């Protein structure tokens, strides 16, 4: 019997012809890390489940990559063993392979209530399915949960970085790419990631330069407005003084005329 491996899948990143950093594209798990959910046929014989049970049949079909056929058996098995976190992972993988991403997310979210050994994998796979649906903010937050459970989960940093690129959060993306390379210095994707980092660093530097220029322009415009307001206020103040002087002169003339009338 052949061995089946549940993989944590990564996504590639790139740059378009217009020079913009492009959202990551699925790479089919080329550089995914194999996690500890590895099923060996010999292990099944040692389980407490009957070889005719829905779980045993579902696992058998799952191993043979007959996902559609495995689905009803695994769904039944989940009702029988609702605390078995492996079944949540199996069933979510089935749903994902059939393009039912929302179902995959839903079953994994239920599974997190019982998650222990594979809680980080559950969060990671939830995030992957959200990513496929374009729910990038939720995907980013859920990759973060996977990292909180396992701070050494390298692919979670990588996929969170890719999601940050989609969200145009380039500084955060760069930080996660560098963390990934620190945790996995021999990654086959190192050269590609370093190229992406160079693009991001250039974009971030350009954005900062433009922000500084914009702030400088804002300050210059603010200074011009203040100078203009000061000029207008000074003009109004001078006009007010002239009016006061004129009024005082008129009153003096009137007083003199009144005195002349009295003398007459």
CA distance 20 to 203: 9
pLDDT for res 224: 85
Per-residue confidence (pLDDT) for residue 228, from 0 to 100? 83
- The per-residue pLDDT string of the chain (264 residues; one tens digit each, 9 = 90 and over) reads 222 334 444 433 333 333 333 333 333 332 333 333 434 333 444 444 445 799 999 999 999 999 999 999 999 999 999 999 999 999 999 999 999 999 999 999 999 999 889 999 999 999 999 999 999 999 999 999 999 999 999 999 999 999 999 999 999 999 999 999 999 999 999 999 999 999 999 988 888 888 888 888 888 888 888 888 888 888 887 776 666 665 655 555 555 455 555 555
Per-residue confidence (pLDDT) for residue 136, from 0 to 100: 97
Q: Where are the domains of the chain?
A: 4-188, 208-264
Check residue 254 and give its pLDDT.
58
- What beta strand segments (E) does the chain contain? 4-8, 11-15, 21-26, 33-39
Residue-level pLDDT at 205: 86
User: What is the secondary structure of 179-240 as a DSSP string?
Assistant: HHHHH-TT-TTHHHHHHHHHHHHHHHHHHHHHHHHHHHHHHHHHHHHHHHHHHHHHHHHHHH
Residue 197 CB burial class (10 angstroms; 0-12, 13-18, ≥19):
middle
Q: Which tokens in the block code for residue 153?
A: 């989960």
Rounded Cα distance between 139 and 23, Å, is: 14
CATH code: domain 4-188 is 1.25.40.10
């Amino acid at each position: 019997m052949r061995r089946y491996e549940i993989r944590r899948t990564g996504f590639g990143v790139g740059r378009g012809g217009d020079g913009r950093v492009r959202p990551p594209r699925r790479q089919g798990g080329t550089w995914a890390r194999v996690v500890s959910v590895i099923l060996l046929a010999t292990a099944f014989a040692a389980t407490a489940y009957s070889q005719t049970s829905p779980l045993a049949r579902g696992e058998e079909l799952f191993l043979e990559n007959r996902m559609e056929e495995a689905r009803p058996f695994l769904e039944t098995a989940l009702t029988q063993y609702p605390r078995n976190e492996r079944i949540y992972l199996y069933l979510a993988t089935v749903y994902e392979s059939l393009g039912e991403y929302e179902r995959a997310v839903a079953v994994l979210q239920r599974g997190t209530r019982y998650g222990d050994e594979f809680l980080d994998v559950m969060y990671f796979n939830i995030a992957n399915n959200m990513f496929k649906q374009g729910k990038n903010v939720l995907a980013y937050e859920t990759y973060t949960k996977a990292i909180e459970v396992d701070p050494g989960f390298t692919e979670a940093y990588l996929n969170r970085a890719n999601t940050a690129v989609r969200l145009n959060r380039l500084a955060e993306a760069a930080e996660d790419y560098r963390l990934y390379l620190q945790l996995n210095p021999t990654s086959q994707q190192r050269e590609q990631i370093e190229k992406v980092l160079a693009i991001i660093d250039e974009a971030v530097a350009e954005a900062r330069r433009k922000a500084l220029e914009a702030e400088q322009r804002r300050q210059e415009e603010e200074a011009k407005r203040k100078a203009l307001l000061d000029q207008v206020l000074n003009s109004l103040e001078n006009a007010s003084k002239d009016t006061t002087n004129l009024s005082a002169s008129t009153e003096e003339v009137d007083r003199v005329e009144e005195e002349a009338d009295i003398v007459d």
